[in-house]
Amino acid sequence: MSAQWDVLSQQGYQFFGKMSASISHEIKNTLAIINENVGLLQDFLAMAQKGKPLDQNRLRSLSEKVLDQVRRADDIVRNLNRFAHSADEPVTSVDVNDMVRFLSSLCRRFVSMRGITLDLKPSSKPLTIETNPFLLENLLWLCLDFAMDVTGKENKLSILCEKAQQGARIRFTGLKGLREASARIFPDNPERALLQALDAEFHVDNEAEEMALTLPGHRAP
Amino acid sequence: MDDEKELVSTLAERLSLRGIEADWVTDVNDALERVETREYDIAVLDVKIPKMTGIELKKKLEKKSPHMKFLFMTGHGSENDFKAGVAEAGAEYYLPKPVNIEVLIEKMHKATEK
């Protein structure tokens, strides 16, 4: 048990660090865009002082771009806040559809860096389970990271959420390189520790080019 | 080159207002195509871009345009990350985001004078 928690703790720190670093990059990018747009506004004002008339449409467009980036930064920070609070409770109600949407939003920079298109297919009804949200986020990230490696750059990766007999299932489909990737150990120690902690099951189907994560409806604290 | 269109297009416009002719791209393939048809004195690249790193793009661009100089921008948040990037790309070719345009122009002049 202690060895499993050591793995979970180390993996959890790595996951938290990776997400935090990515989020800080995204915030830096929004600040950089605001910086350039405000800088351009100052350039126009300096030119106006020298007699060049101000273009009101251009000023309006610049202010809208700044507001767009403020909204974007607000979304990013809201995600960060939700992510930070996901470690608050060892077991709580989670809608798997919502969790997958949240994680893909949290990881959007990793997805875009690989040029991958994510196609999310939530189930039509909520898929509520009782689980540890932070551990589930961590496991979903590791599955997504592996699935993106297998999918390859500039391809489409589909994630489907569906009801399972006792809980919920998340399927990663369109994994064209799955058979070739079988030499790579997945799930490895960190994933196995998370699967065990979440009472979850993992299944790979090379023929169907997909992998599936099945989560129980209830997990003991 | 930066995958953030709003950043790179505005930066190029601000450079143009200061008398520096500037083109911008958001995709590595466009960057590689652009140097086939035009000669550039310097490329300003983001370190983290889709499909490859800025350092990898620099190597590809250098093969096509051996005389071109390079500056890097980075969104690295911490001082340690920044130092790691500086070590990889060379100190005078590295600028943290948000970029101060006057510092950028100064670095561009220094790089092209070499």
Residue A144's pLDDT is 96
What would the pLDDT profile of A80-127 be if each residue is shown by its tens digit? Answer: 999 999 999 999 999 999 999 999 999 999 999 888 999 999 999 999
User: Which residues of B fall within a CB distance of 8 Å from A33?
Assistant: 4, 6-7, 10
Tell me which amino acid residue B33 is: E
- In this structure, whether the domain defined by A92-216 belongs to CATH 3.30.565.10 is answered with yes
The confidence band for A199, taking pLDDT boundaries of 50, 70 and 90, is: very high
The confidence band for B95, taking pLDDT boundaries of 50, 70 and 90, is: confident
A80 CB near a chain B CB, below 8 Å?
Answer: no
Residue B2 confidence (pLDDT) above 70:
yes
Residue A31's pLDDT is 96
Locus of tokens 């086939």: B36
Q: Do A25 and B76 touch (CB under 8 A)?
A: yes
Residue of B5, B6, B48, B74 to mutate when probing chain A, most A C-beta within 10 A: B6
From residue A13, how far is each of A2, A19, A149, A190, B61 by CA, in Å?
A: 16, 10, 22, 12, 37
User: Taking Cα atoms as reference points, which of A136, A172, A137, A179 lies closest to residue A155?
Assistant: A172
A35 CB near a chain B CB, below 8 Å?
Answer: yes
Domain ranges of chain A: 2-85, 92-216
Contacts A–B by Cβ distance under 8 A: 69
Residue A147's pLDDT is 94
Are the C-beta atoms of A177 and A211 separated by less than 8 Å? no
User: Which residues of A fall within a CB distance of 8 Å from B3?
Assistant: 112
Residue B110 confidence (pLDDT) above 70:
yes
Compute the distance between CA of residue B80 and CA of residue A21 in angstroms, rounded to an integer.
12
Residue A42 confidence (pLDDT) above 90:
yes
The confidence band for A185, taking pLDDT boundaries of 50, 70 and 90, is: confident
Locate A90 and state its tokens: 């060892």
User: Which residues of A fall within a CB distance of 8 Å from B80?
Assistant: none
A214 CB near a chain B CB, below 8 Å?
Answer: no
Domain ranges of chain B: 5-113
What would the pLDDT profile of A138-178 be if each residue is shown by its tens digit? Answer: 999 999 999 999 988 778 999 999 999 889 999 999 998 88
* pTM greater than the 0.90 cutoff: no
A75 CB near a chain B CB, below 8 Å?
Answer: no
Residue B85 confidence (pLDDT) above 70:
no
Tell me what the pLDDT averaged over chain B comes to.
Answer: 87
Question: Nearest by CB to B51, which of A21, A34, A153?
Answer: A153
A41 CB near a chain B CB, below 8 Å?
Answer: no
Tell me which amino acid residue A42 is: Q
Residue B89 confidence (pLDDT) above 80:
no
Residue B83 confidence (pLDDT) above 90:
no
Q: Do A32 and B10 touch (CB under 8 A)?
A: no
Are the C-beta atoms of A90 and A131 separated by less than 8 Å? no
Residue B12 confidence (pLDDT) above 80:
yes
Show the CA angle centred on residue A2, arms to residues A81 and A95, nearest 5°.
Answer: 35
A114 CB near a chain B CB, below 8 Å?
Answer: yes
Residue A192's pLDDT is 93
Are the C-beta atoms of A209 and A175 separated by less than 8 Å? yes
Same fold, A2-85 and A92-216: no
DSSP state of A116: P
What would the pLDDT profile of A3-34 be if each residue is shown by its tens digit? Answer: 777 888 899 999 999 999 999 999 999 999 99
Q: Domain B5-113, what architecture? A: 3-Layer(aba) Sandwich (3.40)
Question: Nearest by CB to A115, which of B4, B50, B76?
Answer: B50
Task: Tell me the range of A47-61, B43-57, B78-92 where mean pLDDT is highest.
Answer: A47-61
Residue A220 confidence (pLDDT) above 80:
no
CA-based nearest residue in chain A for residue B14: A40
A37 CB near a chain B CB, below 8 Å?
Answer: yes
Tell me which amino acid residue A160 is: L
Locus of tokens 């990881």: A107
- In this structure, whether the domain defined by A2-85 belongs to CATH 1.10.287 is answered with yes
Q: Do A32 and B99 touch (CB under 8 A)?
A: yes
Q: Do B6 and A65 touch (CB under 8 A)?
A: yes
